[in-house]
Amino acid sequence: MRKTIGIPRGMYYHDYHPMWTKYFNNLDGKVVFSPKTNKDILNLGVSKCVDEACLPVKIFHGHVEYLKDKVDYIFIPKFISICKREYCCPKLLGLPDMVKHSIEELPIVIEPEINLRKVNSLRNAVINTGRIFTRNHFKIANAYMESMEFQKYYKSLLSLGIIPTEDHQNTHTKDIKILVLGHSYNVYDEFINMNIFNKLIENHVNIITADMVSADDINYYSNMLPKRIFWTDGKKIIGAAYSLLEKNSIDGIIYLSAFGCGLDSVLVDLIQRKATSKGVPFLLMTMDEQTGEAGFNTRLEAFLDMMEWRNKNEDYISSIW
């Protein structure tokens, strides 16, 4: 019988799920995802996770709690470094340990360490994970190679603005271009982002995400800072924002942040200053488990009204919002 692997629909799921799914399927495993984030998942997470954690980490706990009785394994990679000379957030680094500490009666946790600062880390992660399912190294290598092809295709869709969590396409019928920024698990989770993409699309806004900015631009413009950003997500967010601001390619920025996020406290300040210096409106939406959709909608609508008014009446309104 095929072994089932539970993949929680949170954190880096939003970046890597096609690759993981293909890899396990190729090894004759059966992938089971938790449902899209909803209020019940959030409540499960809040009940299991430590209070100090940020919203996406709490939600991730909820996804694991949902899956734990339904699968043979749970997949929670330990992301330490996914780019040379860079790091992931410490909460990602400690995620498997946090979950194991907080949630009882888990099935076997598959927790490969991804640390590109170490030689052969990725190779070891691929081989050691694959050996849970087969001793055939050729099959494991093949599963990985094919999964990488899936991943490249998924990334190419994101770079074209095809937003993975939405029913609607990113159709642009107005001149307003808004960059929606934040960590992928905040930007692409419809519950955390309060369905912002649909709301923007309904308002005919042209949406841009950091995934639509080229890696070259991200590297080049993130290097404008006097000190190198050593968080991979941080570099992507800063590089995308600076690139589009320097090229005058956007009319506004909406930053989706999780309350208590240490990285965002730095990134938001840097981007807000840059946006202000360029006269580009900036809206910060900070989410936690108490955030209500009504308040979110009111702020978003006011921001969009202001953007439209501003577009018609030139640069009259302050860019600080």
Q: Which residues pair with 254 in a beta bridge?
A: 180, 283
Provide the token pair at 239: 């590089």
Site string for ligand SF4, 167-196 (x = CB under 6 A): ----------------x-------------
- Is 42 in contact with 289 (CB distance < 8 Å)? yes
- Within 101-140, the residues that bind ligand SF4 by CB under 6 A are none
Residue 32 structure tokens: 């089971």
Output the DSSP codes for 234-292.
HHHHHHHHHHHHHTT--SEEEEEEETT-HHHHHHHHHHHHHHHHHT--EEEEEE-TT--
> Binder to ligand SF4 among 263, 267, 271, 275 (CB under 6 A)?
263
Find the part of the chain contacting ligand SF4 (CB under 6 A) among 13-21, 84-92, 129-137, 245-253.
84-92
Structural element, H or E, at residue 179 = strand 177-181
Is residue 267 close enough to count as binding ligand SF4 by CB under 6 A? no
| Residue whose structure tokens are 């309904």 | 202
In angstroms, what is the minimal distance from the CB of 56 to ligand SF4?
A: 5
- Using the rule CB under 6 A, is 8 a contact of ligand SF4? no
- Closest contact distance (angstroms) between CB of 318 and ligand SF4 is 28
* Site membership for ligand SF4, residue 258 (CB under 6 A): yes
Residue 71 or 258 with smaller CB distance to ligand SF4: 258
Between helix 55-67 and helix 39-48 the angle, nearest 10°, is 100
Minimal distance in Å, beta carbon 264 to ligand SF4? Answer: 6
Q: Which residues bind ligand SF4 (CB under 6 A)?
A: 54, 56-57, 89, 91-92, 183, 258, 261-264
